[in-house]
Chains A and B, each alone.
Chain A
Amino acid sequence: MLIIRRRVGERIVIGSNIEVTVASATKKVVRLAIQAPKGIPVLRGEVHDAVVAANVAASEGMIELEFIDDSDDDGDDTDEDNHDSD
């Protein structure tokens, strides 16, 4: 783990194309300006973790889903009136 001291306005460069600039800082909050190329997602840590958790849960809960899905497939049979009454 690398820990670097930076002042407001100073930058960190990651690889050759990701730049992180300290935009402002108070005692509790640091605002970072991040420049990354398209295709490199930049996420808040907690959002990333929430998506990981959702993905893991979805991949593990498949058997239950199978059960619920099978008991639930007559929701939309509204468009089937082809009965010719003559």
Chain B
Amino acid sequence: MIRIEGTRFGAVEVDEGTVIEFPNGLVGFPAETRFVLLERSGGKLVGYLQSLATPSLAFPVMDGATFEAYPDPSAEELAGSVGLECADLAVLVIVSVNPQTRFLQANLLAPLLVDVVSRVGAQCVLDPRRFSAAHVLADPIAVAKARIEAARARKPEPSESADEGTDKVAIGA
């Protein structure tokens, strides 16, 4: 077991076998070659890619499969181009909050490819004319409004506990 004194999430213990190696680091972080994926429950995120070398360094990531026809070229082709094995590839996309707009954004320009079998990964850079490093995912204001509406729609039913799920139909539409 490896103990990580992460400054974001406190101490975590992870199995040595769950470590993901990035032999070349991430772009701009060449010395950061070992990470673990700390999964989280709920929310849109897959989890956080936590550095083993630097407790304060973690990247929030989501599943690249969320995006249609992504990545392009395919993960297999990309893996080949960066010299990565491709037994079973996972694509992760780094997410952040835009400091100006406060929107959630995804870095589709530079996905992380991870071969799940060998647990070796690399950050690839795609065509900047086609993919943005700040692809907007969600407008927090719209999300807040939707939540308020959802709360209104969810008026407490007098006492009939039988049909609980039925009054939240109109939320998403």
Contacts and interface: CB of A to CB of B under 8 A. Distances in A.
A51 B125 contact: yes
A63 B8 CA distance: 8
Interface stretch (A17-25, A26-34, A64-72): A64-72
Given A51-B28, A73-B42, A58 B110 contact: no
A1 interface: no
Which residue of A43, A59, A77 has the most chain B CB atoms within 10 A of its CB atom?
Answer: A59
16 contacts: A38-B81, A43-B125, A44-B128, A50-B128, A51-B109, A53-B28, A55-B29, A55-B59, A57-B99, A58-B60, A58-B94, A64-B102, A65-B104, A68-B102, A72-B138, A83-B165
Interface of B: 8, 24, 26-29, 42-45, 48, 57-60, 80-84, 94-97, 99, 102, 104, 107, 109-110, 123-125, 128, 133-134, 138, 140, 143-144, 147, 150, 163-166, 168, 172
A75 B140 CA distance: 12
Interface of A: 37-39, 41, 43-44, 47-48, 50-59, 61-65, 68-78, 80-81, 83, 85
Contacts of B143: 68, 71-72, 75
Contact of A65 (B28, B60, B83, B134): B60
A71 B144 contact: yes
**A-B pairs, 6 with minimum CB distance:** A39-B83, A52-B28, A58-B96, A54-B133, A69-B43, A73-B42
Contacts of A76: 172
Contacts of A58: 59-60, 94-96, 107
A62 B104 contact: no
A73 B8 contact: no
B172 A51 contact: no
Given A50-B109, A52-B27, A57 B96 contact: yes
Contacts of A47: 109, 125, 128
Given A65-B104, A80-B165, A56 B97 contact: no
B97 A64 contact: yes
A77 B48 CA distance: 23
A62 B58 CA distance: 8
Contacts of B59: 55, 58-59
Contact of A61 (B81, B99, B168): B99
B107 A68 contact: no
